[in-house]
C-alpha cells in the first residue's frame, strides 16, 4: 500500500497572483510577449509561490543514491562500485553537481536511499530500507513496504529542506544502472516499447543498448506490467533513489514548493509522481532535454517543454542546476523591469 500522504491534493496555484503577474508582464517596457517563455516562468512561479515577486534565489539541491540489482546483467558501461565512490566525491566537493552547487550558492544534501554501503558514509544522510534493489529480470525489485519507505525518504528530505524556506527545489540522482531501471518504468508507464525508450546511459554501445531493451521487454512481459498502476510498476522494476525522488516531488508540491526537474531519470520519477498524484504536475518545471534516447517521450508524457537542450547526459541534478540561472533571470526581469508608465515609454496603441 502507498503511504496515505502521497495521494493528498497539492494546493492550486493562486489565480490572483497569476493574474497580477500577467498584468505586470503586459506593462513592462518590451513588446508584449517578447521575453517568450521567461515571461511564462515568472507568471507560473508567481501563482505557485503566491507572491508578486517570484523568486529562484534559494534553491537547495538534494541527491538521492541507490544501487540496482539489474546491473548483474551488464547494463552499464561503468562498474557498480562507482555509485558509492561518487557519494564520497559529492561530499568531497569534486563532482559536477558539487561545483555547480557552489557556483549557484545552493546547499547540497546527499541521501543514501539504497546503495550497497553497509554502514553510514561520512557527510551522507542514510535513509534506506535495504541495500540495493533486486534484479528485476528475475524477481520484483522492491516490496511494497520498501517502496513506501523510499517514498517517505523523499518526503523526509523535503521536510529538512523546507525548514530553510526554499524558493524551488532541485532533486538529483546517482545509481549505476538507473537508466535501465528508469527506461523500464517509463516504458511501462507510457505503454511504449523499451526499444524506443532505452538509451546508452553512461555510454554502452548499440549492442548494449539493444540488450537493455530486450531485458526490459522480457521483464515487463514476465511481470505483466502492461496497464499496471504506477505503484506496481515502481515496485516491480523501480529503484530506491527513483522512488525517493517520486516521493520528494509529491511532498514538495504538497508544500507549494516548485521543482526544477533534471534529465531522464528525474523526469521518469516525476512521471510516476504525476501518475500517483496528478495535482503535483503544475509544480514541475522541466530544465533540459537530456541526450538519453527516451527523454523526449517522457517529456511528452509530462506535457513538459524543457528550457534548454545541451546534449547533457549526466544526471546528479546537473541539468536542473545549469538551467537555474535562466529561471533566476526570468524572476529578475519580472521583478526589476520598469513599466511603460514608470519609464515614460509610449505603449502600443490600444
Ligand X SMILES: Cc1cc2ncn([C@H]3O[C@H](COP(=O)(O)O)[C@@H](O)[C@H]3O)c2cc1C
Interface residue list for ligand NIO (CB under 6 A): 179, 201-202, 262-265, 290, 292, 313-315
Q: What CA–CA distances, in Å, run from 141 to 145, 223, 251?
A: 12, 11, 23
Decide which of ligand NIO, ligand X, none touches 76; Cβ closer than 5 to 8 Å per partner kind.
ligand X
Return the residue of 66, 140, 166, 201 that touches ligand X, per CB under 6 A. Answer: 201
CB of residue 134 to ligand X, shortest distance in Å: 17
User: According to CB under 6 A, which one of 54, 140, 177, 238 is a site residue for ligand X?
Assistant: 177
Q: Is 109 a catalytic residue?
A: no
Shortest-Cβ-distance residue relative to ligand NIO: 263
Q: Which does 154 bind (CB under 5 to 8 A by kind): ligand NIO, ligand X, none?
A: none
Residue 198's CB: how many other CB atoms inside 10 A? 30
Dist CA 315 CA 180 (whole Å): 14
Stretch that binds ligand X, among 51-59, 158-166, 269-277, 310-318 (CB under 6 A): 310-318
- For 252-282, b/e burial (b = at least 16 CB within 10 A) is bbbbbbbbbbbbbbbbbbbbbbbbbbebbbb
Query: Closest-CB residue for ligand X?
Result: 201
CB 156: neighbour CB atoms within 10 A? 17
CB atoms within 10 A of CB 75: 26
Question: Does 315 participate in binding ligand X (rule CB under 6 A)?
Answer: yes
Cα–chain center distance at 187: 17
Question: What does the alpha-carbon distance between residue 266 and residue 339 come to, in Å, rounded to a whole number?
Answer: 38
Residue 277 binding result from ligand X, ligand NIO, none, given CB thresholds of 5 to 8 Å by partner type: none
Q: What, of ligand X, ligand NIO, none, does residue 329 touch, CB below 5 to 8 Å by kind?
A: none
Shorter beta-carbon distance to ligand X: residue 277 or 290: 290
Instruction: Choose one: 15-23, 53-61, 114-122, 168-176; the region binding ligand X (CB under 6 A).
Output: 168-176
For residues 263 and 286, give the distance between their C-alpha atoms in angstroms, rounded to a whole number: 8
Considering only 49, 133, 137, 179, the residue that binds ligand X (CB under 6 A) is 179
Confirm if 312 and 96 have CB atoms less than 8 A apart. Answer: no
Q: Which of 194, 190, 170 is nearest to 293 (CA)?
A: 194
Could you tell me the smallest distance in angstroms from the CB atom of residue 117 to ligand NIO?
A: 20
Answer yes or no: are the C-beta atoms of 239 and 143 closer than 8 Å.
no
Q: Which is nearer to ligand NIO, 132 or 315 (CB)?
A: 315
- The closest alpha carbon to 279, from 19, 18, 13, 68, belongs to 13
**Structural element, H or E, at residue 87:** helix 82-92
Please tell me which residue in 109, 173, 241, 316 is annotated as part of the active site. 316
Closest CA to 266 of 172, 339, 330: 172
Identity of the residue, 47 or 177, whose beta carbon is nearer to ligand X in the bound complex: 177
Hunting for cell 522492491 — which residue is that?
A: 142
Decide which of ligand NIO, ligand X, none touches 135; Cβ closer than 5 to 8 Å per partner kind.
none
14 versus 202: smaller Cβ distance to ligand NIO? 202
User: Is residue 140 a contact point for ligand X (CB under 6 A)?
Assistant: no
In the list ligand NIO, ligand X, none, the entry touching 239 (Cβ below 5 to 8 angstroms by class) is: none
- Rank residues 115 and 254 by Cβ distance to ligand NIO and give the closer one: 115
H/E stretch holding 113 reads strand 108-114
Q: Binding residues for ligand X, per CB under 6 A?
A: 76-78, 82, 86, 173-180, 201-202, 314-316
Which residues are designated catalytic? Answer: 316
Amino acid at each position: 500500500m502507498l503511504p496515505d500522504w502521497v495521494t493528498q491534493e497539492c494546493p492550486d496555484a493562486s489565480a490572483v497572483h497569476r493574474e497580477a503577474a500577467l498584468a505586470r508582464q503586459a506593462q513592462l517596457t518590451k513588446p508584449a510577449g517578447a521575453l517568450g517563455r521567461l515571461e511564462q516562468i515568472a507568471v507560473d512561479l508567481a501563482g505557485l509561490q503566491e507572491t508578486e515577486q517570484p523568486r529562484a534565489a534559494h534553491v537547495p539541491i538534494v541527491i538521492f543514491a541507490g544501487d540496482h540489482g539489474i546491473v548483474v546483467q551488464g547494463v552499464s558501461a561503468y562498474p557498480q562500485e562507482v555509485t558509492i565512490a561518487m557519494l564520497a566525491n559529492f561530499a568531497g566537493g569534486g563532482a559536477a553537481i558539487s561545483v555547480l552547487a557552489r557556483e549557484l550558492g545552493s546547499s547540497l544534501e546527499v541521501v543514501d536511499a539504497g546503495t550497497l554501503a553497509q554502514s553510514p558514509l561520512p557527510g551522507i544522510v542514510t535513509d534506506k530500507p535495504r541495500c540495493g534493489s533486486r534484479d528485476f529480470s528475475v524477481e520484483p525489485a522492491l516490496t511494497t513496504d520498501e517502496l513506501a519507505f523510499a517514498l517517505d525518504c523523499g518526503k523526509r528530505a523535503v521536510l529538512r529542506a523546507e525548514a530553510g524556506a526554499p524558493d524551488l527545489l532541485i532533486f538529483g540522482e546517482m545509481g549505476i544502472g538507473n537508466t535501465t531501471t528508469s527506461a523500464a518504468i517509463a516504458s511501462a508507464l507510457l505503454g511504449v516499447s523499451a526499444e524506443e525508450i532505452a538509451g546508452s546511459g553512461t555510454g554502452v554501445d548499440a549492442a548494449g543498448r539493444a540488450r537493455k531493451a530486450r531485458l526490459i521487454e522480457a521483464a515487463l512481459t514476465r511481470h505483466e506490467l502492461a496497464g499496471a498502476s504506477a505503484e506496481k510498476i515502481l515496485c516491480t522494476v523501480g529503484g530506491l533513489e527513483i522512488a525517493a525522488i517520486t516521493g520528494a516531488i509529491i511532498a514538495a508540491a504538497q508544500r507549494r514548493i516548485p521543482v526544477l526537474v533534471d534529465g531522464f531519470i528525474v523526469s521518469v520519477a516525476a512521471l510516476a509522481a504525476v501518475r500517483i498524484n496528478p495535482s503535483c504536475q503544475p509544480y514541475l518545471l522541466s530544465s533540459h532535454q537530456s541526450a538519453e534516447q527516451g527523454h523526449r517521450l517522457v517529456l511528452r508524457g509530462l506535457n513538459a517543454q524543457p528550457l534548454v537542450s545541451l546534449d547533457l547526459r549526466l544526471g546528479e541534478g546537473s541539468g536542473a542546476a545549469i538551467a537555474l540561472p535562466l529561471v533566476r533571470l526570468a524572476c529578475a526581469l519580472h521583478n526589476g523591469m520598469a513599466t511603460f508608465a514608470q519609464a515614460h515609454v509610449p505603449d502600443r496603441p490600444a
